[in-house]
Amino acid sequence: MKPTCATNIETSVNKPPKKSCIARPSNAKLTLYKSIALAGVCAVALSACASIPVISKDRTLPKNSETVIGEFGYWRRDCSSRHFEIFIEQYPQGGDLRFEVGSLEIPEDAEVGSSGNCAGQQVQSKRLVYVARPDFVGEDMVSYTVKSSFLLGSKIYAININVR
């Protein structure tokens, strides 16, 4: 790398000009570094998108009723609640959705990671409730994504609902 130098000229008569040098890569090397970084980001992003599993579930419920279609809780090593988000990908046609705050017991055999010393303790949860419209009977569908940290990733849920 060839150093790039700049001269800082001071207005004082008794001081010599200050020269500061910074080693900078050439434009060709800089372009190469940017290309490698961009390729790495794209590879990580594409592999993350390709590996998101879709979990399908079926629910049957009577007319004029509601059902919990998902409840999730994440925790840190100190057993406190970890932030996560639920994004609705496809809204139902024959009903509505309601979010509720709940509480879950941390299981011994966690789906992701380890329960550690937190097994058996309570953690705050988010529930997603499907509420059928009073006049609706038939098939409905809801799709949502649960996103946690980058390391824990995301899961997509497709819920088929049969209202009778």
Closest C-alpha to 146, from 120, 112, 105, 103: 112
Q: What is the pLDDT of residues 38-78, one digit of tens each?
A: 444 444 444 444 567 799 999 999 999 999 999 999 999 99
Stretch 5-9: mean pLDDT: 46
Cα–Cα distance, 146 to 74 (Å, whole number):
11
Closest C-alpha to 71, from 111, 117, 109, 113: 111
How confident is residue 113, by pLDDT bands cut at 50, 70 and 90?
confident
Q: pLDDT value at position 14? A: 53
- The domain 54-163 having CATH identifier 2.30.29: the answer here is no
| DSSP-derived pairing of the beta strands 154-163 and 54-61 | parallel
Cα–Cα distance, 34 to 11 (Å, whole number):
39
Cα–Cα distance, 54 to 141 (Å, whole number):
14
What are the domain boundaries of the chain?
2-50, 54-163
Cα–Cα distance, 94 to 154 (Å, whole number):
27
Closest C-alpha to 74, from 43, 35, 104: 104
* Higher-scoring residue by pLDDT: 121, 41: 121
